[in-house]
């Protein structure tokens, strides 16, 4: 937490006891600047990137690990620091004469959850390399690629591009991503990050090494929870026993652990308490599906799909007894047609955001209807969605 945030916490003392001091620090979709207890992983990544400190590009690499192992948190934190240390190449595009080349390569981070097309890919890379925002309209994909080649042609040391969440539903497939990499200038190397084991992705055909990020050990996860609680909650709101309870249940998955903390804190806060209880933690754990998807993945969906989900999480059991009942109720509240809502639900079922479960047929006639079940914790999504509005 930065100094301004700490000052604001002190300023809020006159408002009386308040459990949640900062939702962002608690959020399971937010990455902190210094991930806890991950020094060895940073060292392995820095070993791979070591050539950049001599002004040379490293080879391509693939970073892999299970859901919740902290891949995104580690890579985004590392690239943020490296971006600060590298000489900014963006001035090149704005000078009439050739500028001096940067002393080290630049660094760009992309998320395939929000970069889902060829145009979006090259736009995101280019936009990160220039001072002024690149227009999203009135420019073709080919023009973007030409400008990117022109800019990096002025930079002897090039750029390292980290491409996160590869291989996930709704993202660019492996073959498409390889084609996009091939369209980048020769002085670009890439770091792909995903969950798929190296022997099951075609990306490793084009990499020199693979770097595994193992799940969190229990004590590491306890430290993560206590750190987030110290930044986002009032003092002594979370004791170590409850943090250990969450860490044991999460079994190395930091996303699940942070989601449980977030939900438990929200539950306690709504009850006007200043400490989390065992009941809060148990209720939070019980709300998270066994095969939960990332909340960041849910929150990266198009606006209208998130709107449908926001209404869906408030429906009672009767309103979710069948897909038909669900679509009719939701469409009446979100100003979308029944057909559109149903299509959205089917598309989100295909990508694992929701699940269509066959309902019990009590009358024994005909095919039982299917109902919609969530594959993410509703309380966490509801609060995170509302905070963004």
* pLDDT (tens digit per residue) in 118-137: 999 999 999 988 888 899 89
Helices marked H in the chain: 3-11, 23-26, 39-49, 71-85, 118-129, 141-153, 174-182, 218-232, 240-250, 254-270, 278-287, 295-298, 303-312, 323-334, 338-350, 378-388
**pLDDT single digits (tens) 343-383:** 999 999 999 999 998 766 555 566 667 889 999 999 999 99
**pLDDT single digits (tens) 212-266:** 999 999 999 999 999 999 999 999 999 999 999 999 999 999 999 999 999 999 9
Q: Is the pLDDT of residue 98 over 50?
A: no
> Average pLDDT, whole number, for the chain?
89
Q: Which of 344, 321, 322 is nearest to 334 (CA)?
A: 344
Compute the average pLDDT of residues 36-62: 91
Q: Is the pLDDT of residue 178 over 60?
A: yes
The pLDDT of residue 99: 38
Distances, alpha carbon 249 to alpha carbons 246, 257, 272, 281, 285, in Å? 5, 8, 26, 11, 8
The pLDDT of residue 362: 56
Q: Name the residue with higher pLDDT: 360 or 2.
A: 360
CA distance 233 to 230: 6
Confidence of residue 104 (pLDDT cuts 50, 70, 90): confident
Compute the average pLDDT of residues 179-199: 95
Q: Which of 353, 362, 350 is nearest to 381 (CA)?
A: 353
Q: What sign results for the dihedral spanned by CA atoms 265, 269, 271, 277? A: positive
Confidence of residue 90 (pLDDT cuts 50, 70, 90): very low
The two tokens of residue 53 are: 């400190």
The pLDDT of residue 38: 83
Q: Is the pLDDT of residue 2 over 90?
A: no
Q: Is the pLDDT of residue 91 over 90?
A: no
Q: Is the pLDDT of residue 33 over 90?
A: no
**pLDDT single digits (tens) 16-27:** 568 999 999 999
The pLDDT of residue 361: 58
Q: Name the residue with higher pLDDT: 15 or 27.
A: 27
Identify the burial level of 276 via C-beta atoms within 10 angstroms of its C-beta, where 0-12 means exposed, 13-18 middle and 19 or more buried. buried
Q: Is the pLDDT of residue 296 over 70?
A: yes
The pLDDT of residue 1: 46
- Output the pTM of the full model: 0.88
The pLDDT of residue 97: 31
The pLDDT of residue 153: 81
**pLDDT single digits (tens) 314-350:** 999 888 889 999 999 999 999 999 999 999 999 999 9
CA distance 188 to 165: 19
CA distance 161 to 387: 31
Compute the average pLDDT of residues 126-151: 91
CA distance 134 to 155: 19
The pLDDT of residue 101: 45
Q: Is the pLDDT of residue 154 over 80?
A: no
Q: Is the pLDDT of residue 297 over 80?
A: yes
Backbone Cα Rg of the chain: 23
**pLDDT single digits (tens) 261-287:** 999 999 999 999 999 999 999 999 999
């Amino acid at each position: 937490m930065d100094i301004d945030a700490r000052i604001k916490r002190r300023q809020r003392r006159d408002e009386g006891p308040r459990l949640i001091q900062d939702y962002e620090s608690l959020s399971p979709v937010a990455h902190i600047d210094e991930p806890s207890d991950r020094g060895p992983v940073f060292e392995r990544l820095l070993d791979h990137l070591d050539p950049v400190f001599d002004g040379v590009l490293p080879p391509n690499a693939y970073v892999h690990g299970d859901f919740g192992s902290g891949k995104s948190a580690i890579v985004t934190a590392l690239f943020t620091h490296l971006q600060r240390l590298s000489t900014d190449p963006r001035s090149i595009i704005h000078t009439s004469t050739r500028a001096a080349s940067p002393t080290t390569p630049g660094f760009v981070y992309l998320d395939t959850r929000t970069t889902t097309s060829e145009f979006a890919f090259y736009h995101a890379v280019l936009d990160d390399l220039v001072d002024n925002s690149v227009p999203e309209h009135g420019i073709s994909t080919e023009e973007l690629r030409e400008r990117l080649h022109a800019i990096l042609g002025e930079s002897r040391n090039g750029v390292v591009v980290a491409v996160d969440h590869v291989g996930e539903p709704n993202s660019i497939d492996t073959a498409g991503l390889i084609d996009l990499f091939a369209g980048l200038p020769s002085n670009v190397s890439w770091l792909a990050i995903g969950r798929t084991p190296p022997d099951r992705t075609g990306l490793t055909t084009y990499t020199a090494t693979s770097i595994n990020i193992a799940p969190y050990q229990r004590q590491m996860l306890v430290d993560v929870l206590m750190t987030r609680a110290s930044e986002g909650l009032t003092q002594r709101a979370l004791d170590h026993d409850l943090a250990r309870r969450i860490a044991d249940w999460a079994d190395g998955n930091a996303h699940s652990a942070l989601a449980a903390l977030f939900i438990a804190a929200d539950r306690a806060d709504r009850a006007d308490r200043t400490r989390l209880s065992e009941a809060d933690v148990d209720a939070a754990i019980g709300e998270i599906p066994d095969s939960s998807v990332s909340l960041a993945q849910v929150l990266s969906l198009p606006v209208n799909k998130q709107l449908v989900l926001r209404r869906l999480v408030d429906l009672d059991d009767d309103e979710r007894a069948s897909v038909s009942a669900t679509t009719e109720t939701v469409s009446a509240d979100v100003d979308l047609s029944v057909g559109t809502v149903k299509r959205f639900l089917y598309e989100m079922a295909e990508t694992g955001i929701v699940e269509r479960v066959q309902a019990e047929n009590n009358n024994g006639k005909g095919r039982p209807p299917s109902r919609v079940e969530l594959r993410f914790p509703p309380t966490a999504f509801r609060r995170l969605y509302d905070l963004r509005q």
